[in-house]
Structures are given as structure tokens and as C-alpha cells.
Amino acid sequence: MSSCPFGICDGSGFVMDESTNTDSPCRCRPIQIGRVKARRLEGRIPRRFRDVAFDRSPIKDLPAPVLAEVRRYVRDLERNIDEGRGIWFVGDPGTGKTAAAMLVSKLAIEAGRTVAVYSTPRLLNVVREAIDTDDGVLGLLEQLGTVDLLHLDDLGAERQTEWVLEQLYSIVNTRYEDQRAVVVTTNLSPDALADQVGLRTVSRLIEMCGDPLPLFGPDLRRSLPDLHPA
């Protein structure tokens, strides 16, 4: 059973009133419900990025303005997530985008928040697989909409079809309307990304996350094979 983040209940989401022998919902009840819904989602940091940290490469080697923005975001992580404020990274392959995004997701998990971590092509495969399940696609989209933070890696790498555009818009728009945060990485500039996934989707990401943080330069995987930037 998960613990109560407020230290009020025993983790069940209910508080027992001994005088009346009745239960009342705890402040953590919505969080506990979200955790249950998130269990079927991929909420773990991939092994390659489990040791990502500010004092380790490639994070410590990020351009100073980008590093400062990441620090600023995670310094007030709880409020940013509660207010649906996200963060996203754009740039060349091998410049640290995924590592930076994974650090944000890792710190959110450590703070007890529900997080779903997907590469965008993998997420779309999961959506396709959900078609034949009891809950269906709508059930999966509801789960994706209720986690505190949705991590979408490599947005724009998926093959473009009308179905893909519809699913990506539904996922982003649901979180936009419910003011739930996202962390996103992409190799494409906002204009190029709009051509790939649709202007409406990118417009919402800009409103949710602000301007993307730029990470351009040489592929560090080639020059520093012991690092694992993305």
C-alpha cells in the first residue's frame, strides 16, 4: 500500500473517525486513485537513465542557460506539476535532451508523483494494442490523462498518418484541458514539428511548456561513448 504523502491516513486514502466509526476521504485520496490508474502505464525510468543527476554528465555539460532553466523548473517541481506547467527540449540527436527530460521525470517520481514515461512511437503502439482490451483506447487515454506528469520522448519520430495525428492531439489536448504537465523531447523545431504532428498539438505544447529549450551541437554519443545523451 502506498503511504500518505500528507502523513494523515494509513495510505488507504481514508481517515477513520473513531468516535463515529466512519471513514472519510483523506486529502491524498485523489493521489491514491491516480496511482492505481497509473499502475498499468510505464512509470519507470529506463535503466540507462536511472543514475542521471545534475552533477553527472551529460546533465552537468548542458549549456548554462538550459541547465539553469531545468534547475529552476525542478526547484519548484511540485507547484509546476500541480499547475500543469511542463517543460520541453528540442535539438539535434545526442545532445542530452532525453537525459534532461529523464532527470525531471526521475525527480517527480522521487517526489511521489505519478509519471508515465514513453517514447512516442512506443506509446502509439500501446494505444493500438489497447483497441482490443476491455477498457479500449478511451480507457488508456483516460489513464494517460490522470497521471501527474506525462513524459513523451522523441515526439515527431512517429510515422505520420491521420490516426496518429488524432491520437497525439487527443493525448495532448486532454492534458491541456485538465492542466496536467508534460515533459517532451523532439528533434524538430516547433514549425517542423507542427508539420509532423499538427499545429493544434504544438500550439498547446507551447502554452503548456513555453518555448522549447534548445540543445544543438555534435552527437556526444560519438565523442563520449561512455555517456548516454539523447
Model pLDDT for residues 29-77, shown as the tens digit of each residue: 766 665 555 445 556 788 899 999 999 999 999 999 999 999 999 999 9
Using 50, 70 and 90 to split pLDDT, how confident is the model at 10? Answer: confident
- The whole-number average pLDDT for the span 120-133 is 81
More confident residue, 133 or 196: 196
- Residue 19, Cβ neighbours under 10 Å: how many? 6
Using 50, 70 and 90 to split pLDDT, how confident is the model at 25? Answer: confident
DSSP β-bridge partners for residue 119: 153
Weakest mean pLDDT among 19-23, 166-170, 173-177, 184-188 = 19-23
Residue 36: the pLDDT is: 53
The pTM for the full model equals 0.78
pLDDT higher than 50, residue 227: no
Contact 185, 99 (CB under 8 A): no
More confident residue, 3 or 144: 144
- The whole-number average pLDDT for the span 89-95 is 92
Residue 41: the pLDDT is: 56
Residue 198: the pLDDT is: 94
Residue 6: the pLDDT is: 79
Cα(165)–Cα(207) distance, integer angstroms: 19
The full set of domain ranges for the chain reads 1-31, 40-223
- Residue 133, Cβ neighbours under 10 Å: how many? 11
CA nearest to 126, candidates 186, 188, 168, 175: 168
DSSP letter, residue 1: -
CATH architecture entry for 40-223: 3-Layer(aba) Sandwich (3.40)
- The whole-number average pLDDT for the span 146-154 is 93
More confident residue, 226 or 56: 56
pLDDT higher than 90, residue 146: no
Would you list the DSSP string of 49-69? GTT--TTSTTGGGS-HHHHHH
Model pLDDT for residues 98-116, shown as the tens digit of each residue: 999 999 999 999 998 999 9
